[in-house]
């Protein structure tokens, strides 16, 4: 991919970067202004679940834009927002049927943690304010969601500004923080929640916040059997809510509408945060869905003093409705499950051929590859080699997008996410694997000469 952007232009984000200039998108493909055709193997930031330029979503946007784009939620109700609330309730289970709309993932997590606090306060349980989350994890960039996040390069610099939150170990089985292995570990990562609650005084804890299948910070970890039953029992016994951060995993990404549904009956979210795939890259959109009892308890006690100007705007809501219609109409959740099996098998084959891929994990169309200098000991590469970034650059040279992150909460190791749109065709998946194969081969060879 040619680098055609400006380094000293009018915009700035995380770092100086000389990025290719995007021109247009269609399906799984993005074109640059200099004519390269790039395969979107990670749906941007695991956002573009329906691919680019889906005609049904574009049509819904046009129709709604011509009618009304904005009507403020304290002044008007609007049809698309109500319809989106009904549709989300129809997709979910366990009484998750009341929705608070927002405009992104960080906003969704902020809303969820404030809702948990408000719920306990409304019941007269003012002492509960702490959030327990996991390390590593990613929950967003705003200070509340960041305080719950377990990813040190993003959190350390802002630590003095944040309310200190508390972390238990994420189920990173390939690198068990307790040095154990499943099943003889007896789910030490799940029972860690009990120990942490006892140490904090459980009567001060409002909620346990978790990504049911890991996202960028862990490289798509899937918890072992029994994990959800254990954390659900502990949370219930101590009267704390569970918040499932499905910002990345929701809207069909893992082969179920929400990832918790893979463990229906054991995983029991009180509050669910959705975003990314819900707007699918067509509009900034997020949602917090909870049980009627939680919403009513808060509202009956007075109010939920929280909100965002763009929350529930009719244009974004109409996009959400269209996205859910396409997911349903095209059977894309089942397609994610089916194609995910093929993608997982293909990635495992690549790992067999490229030994520096130490672990392949994931579900549906959310997969992580972890890189190791020594597969036998699982020793990571030296930090400065920035291996995930190198592999991502090699993939970009093949006109393939993948998504890199450091491991160990940002402190050691490397992984990438492979998460193509749910509309990916079989031949496009083959093309993705072929390009990744070449990128892995070149990266591995280059590392052999420097590592």
Ligand X SMILES: Cc1ncc(COP(=O)(O)O)c(C=O)c1O
Q: Give the C-alpha distances (Å, rounded to integers) separating 67 from 7, 56, 80, 134, 275.
A: 40, 17, 11, 44, 24
The site string for ligand X over 243-262 (x = CB under 6 A, - otherwise) reads: --x-xx--------------
Q: Are 436 and 418 in contact (CB under 8 A)?
A: yes
Determine, following the binding rule CB under 6 A, whether residue 215 of this chain makes contact with ligand X. Answer: yes
Strand partners for 99: 289
Helix then strand count (H, E) for the chain reads: 14, 15
Cα-atom radius of gyration of the chain, to the nearest Å?
Answer: 22
- In the complex, the smallest distance separating the C-beta of residue 167 from ligand X, rounded to whole angstroms, is 15
Nearer Cβ to ligand X (46/322): 46
Residue closer to ligand X (CB basis): 93 or 141: 141
* CB closer to ligand X out of 151 and 381: 151
Least distance to ligand X, CB of residue 145, Å: 6
User: Alpha helix (H) ranges present in 330-425?
Assistant: 332-353, 387-397
User: Of 395, 330, 451, 251, nearest to 55 (Cα)?
Assistant: 330
Regarding 138 and contact with ligand X (CB under 6 A), the answer is: yes
Residue 134 CB, nearest distance to ligand X (Å)?
11
Strand partners, 415: 370, 405
Q: Which of 20, 51, 85, 104 binds ligand X (CB under 6 A)?
A: 104
One residue of 44, 51, 80, 105 binding ligand X per CB under 6 A:
105
Site for ligand X (CB under 6 A): which residue of 43, 78, 106, 392? 106
Nearer to ligand X, 135 or 381 (CB): 135
Find the shortest distance in angstroms from Cβ 138 to ligand X: 5
- Cβ-based neighbours of 194, under 8 Å, separated by 6 or more: 234
Report in angstroms how near the CB of residue 104 gets to ligand X at its nearest: 4
Q: From CA 314, how far away is CA 310, in angstroms rounded? A: 9
**323 with 408: CB under 8 angstroms?**
no
Task: Give the nearest distance from C-beta 361 to ligand X in angstroms.
Answer: 16
User: Which residue bears the tokens 């694997």?
Assistant: 433
- Nearer to ligand X among residue 109 and residue 429 (C-beta): 109
Contact positions with ligand X (CB under 6 A) in 357-376: none
Taking the complex as a whole, how short is the minimal distance between the CB of residue 302 and ligand X, in angstroms? 28
Tokens encoding 208: 């346990």
Closest approach, Cβ 189 to ligand X, in A, equals 18
| Candidate segments 125-133, 180-188, 196-204, 210-218, binder of ligand X by CB under 6 A | 210-218
Kindly indicate which of the ranges 105-113, 123-131, 171-179, 257-265 contains the residues binding ligand X, using the contact rule CB under 6 A. Answer: 105-113
The residue (of 419 and 432) whose beta carbon lies closer to ligand X is 419
Q: How many residues does the chain have?
A: 451
Q: Which residues contact 161 (CB under 8 A, 6 or more apart)?
A: 143
Please identify, among the stretches 8-16, 101-109, 408-416, 436-444, the one whose residues bind ligand X according to the rule CB under 6 A.
101-109
Which is closer to ligand X, CB of 167 or CB of 435? Answer: 167
d(CA 170, CA 417): 17
Contact call for residue 109 and ligand X (CB under 6 A): yes
Nearest to ligand X of 117, 139 (CB atom): 139
Residue in 239, 237, 258 with CA at minimum distance from that of residue 248: 258
Q: Does 140 bind ligand X (CB under 6 A)?
A: yes
| CA atoms lying within 13 Å on the CB side of residue 359 | 24
Which lies closer to ligand X via its Cβ, residue 215 or residue 346?
215
Q: Toward ligand X, which CB reaches closer, 73 or 139? A: 139
Residue 139 binds to ligand X (criterion: CB under 6 A)? yes
The answer to whether 275 contacts ligand X (rule: CB under 6 A) is yes
Which residue's beta carbon is nearest to the bound ligand X? 105
**Cα-based torsion angle of the residue sequence 445, 448, 449, 451 in order, rounded to the nearest 10 degrees:** 140
Residue 284 makes CB contacts below 8 A (sequence gap 6+) with 103, 104, 310, 316
**Are 166 and 130 a contacting pair, CB within 8 Å?**
yes
Interface residues toward ligand X, by CB under 6 A: 45, 104-106, 109, 138-141, 211, 215-216, 245, 247-248, 275
């Amino acid at each position: 991919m040619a680098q055609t952007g400006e380094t000293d232009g009018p915009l700035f984000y995380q770092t100086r970067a000389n990025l290719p200039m995007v021109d247009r998108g269609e399906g799984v493909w993005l074109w640059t202004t200099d004519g390269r055709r790039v395969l979107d193997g990670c749906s941007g930031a695991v956002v573009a679940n329906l691919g680019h330029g889906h005609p049904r979503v574009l049509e819904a946007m046009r129709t709604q834009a011509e009618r009304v784009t904005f009507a403020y939620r304290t002044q008007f109700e609007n049809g698309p927002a109500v319809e989106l609330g009904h549709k989300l309730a129809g997709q979910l289970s366990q009484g998750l049927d009341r929705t608070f709309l927002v405009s992104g993932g960080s906003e969704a997590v902020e809303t969820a943690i404030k809702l948990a606090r408000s719920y306990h306060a409304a019941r007269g349980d003012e002492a509960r304010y702490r959030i327990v989350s996991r390390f590593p994890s990613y929950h967003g960039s705003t200070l509340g969601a960041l305080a719950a996040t377990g990813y040190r390069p993003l959190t350390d610099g802002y630590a003095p500004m944040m309310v200190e939150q508390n972390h238990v170990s994420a189920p990173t089985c390939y690198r068990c923080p307790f040095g154990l292995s499943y099943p003889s570990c007896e789910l030490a990562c799940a029972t860690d929640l009990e120990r942490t609650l006892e140490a904090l005084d459980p009567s001060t804890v409002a909620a346990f916040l978790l990504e049911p299948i890991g996202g960028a910070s862990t490289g798509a970890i899937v918890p072992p059997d029994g994990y959800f039953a254990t954390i659900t029992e502990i949370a219930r016994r101590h009267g704390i809510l569970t918040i499932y951060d499905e910002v990345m995993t929701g809207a069909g990404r893992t082969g179920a509408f929400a990832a918790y549904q893979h463990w229906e009956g054991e995983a029991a979210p009180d509050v669910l945060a959705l975003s990314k795939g819900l707007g699918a890259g067509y509009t900034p959109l997020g949602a917090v869905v909870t049980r009627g009892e939680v919403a009513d308890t808060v509202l009956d006690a007075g109010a939920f003093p929280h909100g965002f100007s763009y929350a529930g705007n009719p244009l974004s809501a109409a996009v959400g409705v269209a996205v859910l219609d396409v997911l349903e109409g095209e059977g894309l959740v089942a397609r994610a499950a089916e194609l995910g099996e093929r993608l997982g098998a293909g990635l495992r084959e690549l790992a067999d051929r490229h030994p520096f891929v130490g672990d392949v994990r994931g579900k549906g169309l959310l997969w992580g590859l972890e890189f190791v200098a020594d597969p036998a000991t699982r020793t990571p590469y030296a930090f400065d080699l920035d291996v995930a970034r190198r592999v991502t650059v090699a993939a970009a040279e093949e006109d393939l997008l993948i998504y890199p992150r450091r491991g160990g909460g940002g402190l050691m190791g490397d992984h990438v996410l492979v998460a193509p749109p749910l509309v990916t065709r079989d031949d496009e998946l083959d093309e993705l694997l072929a390009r990744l194969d070449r990128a892995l081969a070149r990266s591995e060879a280059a590392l052999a000469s420097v590592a």
